[in-house]
Structure 1
Amino acid sequence: MTPIEQQVWDALTAVIDPELGISIVDLGLIYEVEVDDQGFCSIKMSLTTPGCPLSSFLQNDIERAAKKVPAIRDARVQLVWYPVWSIARMSSKARRQLGIGGSLHDQQNR
């Protein structure tokens, strides 16, 4: 990961999922951040459910957050559905915020 890509990841932590009130980075929704030599940023993300009514809202917020990084001239978000999002992608902080206790193994085998 380049320093600029790390700056974008850091900027994306400020984007909060409007339904859950948790950072999209902590939720594990961001899969990949790539920045080319011209400052174009490509972000791959998923959603917790395919029919999320706020997906365009989130995409706009993500693009705005990425463009706040001085080296970024433009940013685009691509929705991806593989690998399928699961709670295993969430940070321990996000799981605590949602009150998900026990081990991840227990949660995934319910």
Structure 2
Amino acid sequence: MDNEFLGLEMEIVSAIRTVYDPEIPVNIYDLGLIYEVNVEDDGKVRIVMTLTSPNCPVADSLPEEVREVVADLKGVKEVEVNMTFDPPWSRDMLSDEALLELGLL
């Protein structure tokens, strides 16, 4: 993997970390809502994500917010965000940073 590709992937993760779940004061990456980030050589980015619940009140807006913050990055030509609930999100998916932020560690 070349450095340019790796750099873009790191920028994408950083951008996603600016998106917060409105009900939990932790970014969605550290919440474990992002299952995959795939960057192709042509600048196409495919993201697979979930929500804390299928009935989440931001089910429409959160994926769009992710798409927008990633689409704004230099080198990104197209962004596809796919939702999945398999596997369902659980507290076990929280990063150590999120556990610490929430006082669970």
Deviation digits for residues 21-71 of structure 1 (CA, Å, limit 9, x no counterpart): 210011010000012222111100011111112021111110111112201
Whichever residue aligns with residue 62 of structure 2, its letter is L
Tell me what 2:78 maps to.
74
Q: Secondary structure at the match of 1:75?
A: strand
Q: Kindly indicate whether the alpha-carbon contact (under 8 Å) linking 1:59 and 1:77 is maintained by their aligned counterparts in 2.
A: yes
The question of 1:94 aligning with 2:98 is answered yes
Partners of 2:10 and 2:101 in 1: how far apart? 24
Structure 1 vs Structure 2 CA RMSD: 1.5
Tell me what 2:38 maps to.
34
Tell me the TM-score normalized by structure 1.
Answer: 0.82
Corresponding pairs, count: 101
Whichever residue aligns with residue 69 of structure 2, its letter is A
Q: Kindly indicate whether the alpha-carbon contact (under 8 Å) linking 1:45 and 1:77 is maintained by their aligned counterparts in 2.
A: yes
Q: Identity, % of aligned pairs? A: 35
- 1:100: Cα distance to partner? 2.2
Partners of 1:15 and 1:22 in 2: how far apart? 9
Deviation digits for residues 1-28 of structure 1 (CA, Å, limit 9, x no counterpart): 7412222112111111111121001101
Tell me the TM-score normalized by structure 2.
Answer: 0.86
Structure 1 moving runs of 4+ over 6 Å: none
Q: Kindly indicate whether the alpha-carbon contact (under 8 Å) linking 1:11 and 1:68 is maintained by their aligned counterparts in 2.
A: no
Partners of 2:38 and 2:83 in 1: how far apart? 14
Partners of 1:34 and 1:54 in 2: how far apart? 23
Q: Secondary structure at the match of 1:64?
A: helix
The farther-off stretch of 82-91 and 21-30 is 82-91
Larger radius of gyration: 1
Q: Kindly indicate whether the alpha-carbon contact (under 8 Å) linking 1:47 and 1:85 is maintained by their aligned counterparts in 2.
A: yes
Partners of 1:24 and 1:79 in 2: how far apart? 13
